[in-house]
């Protein structure tokens, strides 16, 4: 069976790390057909639009999409792409790897972030000069879906601790609905869980991440808490993510286009390669996914490592080492 994969490198280091993931996938005994497509700042400069119709169609028709990163046009690219693949859940694992000098070496967290609404609803207004508003949308449907997905994920992947993040004490209506719905889902499933106010949770995650496992979050909280967790494990170069829909999905590193190091060939390819491993899981190649993860883990442990991890290797050298491990 051939799997058609849309490959959208985007801008900056997206163009450097995406080929690394494609190289790794090419080493596996799986029949992939890669369809390359363009999006991002450069595409906008050339064509007037950051996400051309052709790219949108390629992503919609593919079995899955690999996306690198976009620059200033990130919101114009990634928000529509997530909705094109029908993604309701953004899965962001943050694990500390052996051999790296992580701030919190016991970290093994997975953020299950609601991916369609909250403050990223896009409903913003200027009421009058100097006064602008944003509508925070929370629906019972989306809250139920993300909670179901989170508890399923925890069970399937052996996580005992599930935390529902919220701020229902202040955002009584919106997060009240999110919290009530997630708790109802937990009770219907007979699942154990905790709830946590998202601000206090940020502090606890920084100090005692080992006490947490799966964290189910509204959209913005998931975005911020997962970047915080990136700091605990050694930086954004390590964090993969999956945008899961009913029938389609998109895989991308949590990081952006990193203009400060773009073009130097030193971006850490781990986040992108680990995103490709999440894609392998999604396409039901769990053994191959584990093989890729083990290869990355081994290179992180013994080197060569890119400068963000204290090494001096290039993106290519680190990718070659991962390929050799396979």
Catalytic residues, by residue number, are: 120, 167, 199, 223, 227
Residue 102: name its binding partner from Mg ion, ligand NAI, none (Cβ under 5 to 8 Å by kind).
none
Work out which of 78, 164, 165, 292 binds ligand NAI, going by CB under 6 A: 78
Helix (H, G, I), strand (E, B) or coil at 6: strand
β-strand partners of 8 = 67
Toward ligand NAI, which CB reaches closer, 78 or 196? 78
Residue 252 makes contact with Mg ion by CB under 5 A: no
Residue 223: name its binding partner from Mg ion, ligand NAI, none (Cβ under 5 to 8 Å by kind).
Mg ion
| 184 exposure class (CB count in 10 Å sphere: 0-12, 13-18, 19+) | middle
For the chain, what is the largest distance between any 2 Cα atoms, rounded to a whole number of angstroms?
60
CA distance 269 to 17: 5
Contact 274, 238 (CB under 8 A): yes
Residue 214 makes contact with ligand NAI by CB under 6 A: no
Work out which of 261, 274, 279, 299 binds ligand NAI, going by CB under 6 A: 261
Position of minimal CB gap to Mg ion: 223
Name the DSSP class of 237. G
Best CA proximity match to 289, nearest among 237, 235, 242: 242
Work out which of 31, 126, 260, 284 binds ligand NAI, going by CB under 6 A: 260
**Count of beta carbons in the 10 Å neighbourhood of residue 106:** 11
Stretch that binds Mg ion, among 39-47, 170-178, 218-226, 298-306 (CB under 5 A): 218-226
Residue 223 makes contact with Mg ion by CB under 5 A: yes
* Minimum distance from residue 325 beta carbon to ligand NAI (Å): 19
Toward Mg ion, which CB reaches closer, 223 or 308? 223
Residue 308 makes contact with ligand NAI by CB under 6 A: yes
Contact 183, 195 (CB under 8 A): yes
CA distance 255 to 271: 8
Which residues contact Mg ion (rule: CB under 5 A)?
223
Q: Which residues bind ligand NAI (CB under 6 A)?
A: 13, 17, 69-72, 74, 78, 236-237, 252, 255-261, 267-268, 271, 308
């Amino acid at each position: 069976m051939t799997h058609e994969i849309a490959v959208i490198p985007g801008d900056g280091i997206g163009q450097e790390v995406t080929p690394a993931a494609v190289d790794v996938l090419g080493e596996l005994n799986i029949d992939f057909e890669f369809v390359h497509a363009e999006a991002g700042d450069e595409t906008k400069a050339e064509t007037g639009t950051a996400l051309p119709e052709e790219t949108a169609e390629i992503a919609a028709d593919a079995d899955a999409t690999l996306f690198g990163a976009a620059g200033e046009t990130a919101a114009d690219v990634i928000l529509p792409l997530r909705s094109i693949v029908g993604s309701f859940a953004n899965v962001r694992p943050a694990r500390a790897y052996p051999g790296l000098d992580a701030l919190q070496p016991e970290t093994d967290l997975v953020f299950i972030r609601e991916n369609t609404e909250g403050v990223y609803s896009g409903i913003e207004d200027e009421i009058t000069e100097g006064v602008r508003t944003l509508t925070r949308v929370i629906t019972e449907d989306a809250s139920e879906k993300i909670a179901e997905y989170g508890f399923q994920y925890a069970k399937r992947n052996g996580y005992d601790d599930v935390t529902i993040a919220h701020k229902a004490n202040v955002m009584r209506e919106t997060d009240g609905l999110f919290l009530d719905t997630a708790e109802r889902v937990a009770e219907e499933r007979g699942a154990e869980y905790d709830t946590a106010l998202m601000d206090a949770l940020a502090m606890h995650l920084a100090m005692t991440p080992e006490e947490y496992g799966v964290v189910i979050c509204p959209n913005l909280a998931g975005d911020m808490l997962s970047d915080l967790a990136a700091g605990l494990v050694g930086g954004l170069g390590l964090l993969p993510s999956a945008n899961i829909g009913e029938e389609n999905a998109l895989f991308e590193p949590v990081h952006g286009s990193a203009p400060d190091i773009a073009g130097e060939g030193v971006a850490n390819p781990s986040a992108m390669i680990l995103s490709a491993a999440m894609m392998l899981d999604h396409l039901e190649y769990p053994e191959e996914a584990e093989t890729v993860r083990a290869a990355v883990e081994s290179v992180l442990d013994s080197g060569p490592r890119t400068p963000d991890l204290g090494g001096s290797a290039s993106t290519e050298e680190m990718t070659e080492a991962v390929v050799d491990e396979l």
